Structure 1
Amino acid sequence: MMVVPSGTLPRKPTLPLPLPDVVPSASSPYALFEVVVVQVGDQRFAVDVEHAVEIRGAEVLLQPDSGGDPVLPVRGQPLPVIDLRQRVGMPAFGEQCPAVLLVNAGPHLIALAVDAVLDVETLPVQQDRATGGVPGGFSFCRRMVTLRPGEHMPLIDTGRLLAACPRAP
Structure 2
Amino acid sequence: MLQRLSSFTTCQRAAATFLPSSLSLRPILSAQSPQSLPTIQPPTTTTTQIRPRSSRSTRGLFDGRDVRFGNNVPFSLKKTRRKWSPNVQHKVLYSEVLDELIKFKVTTGALRSIDKMGGLDNYLLNSKHVKELKTKGVGKEGQGQQVRNRIVQKLKHQERLKREAVE
TM-score of the superposition, structure 1-length normalised? 0.21
More helix by share: 2
More strand by share: 1
Larger radius of gyration: 2
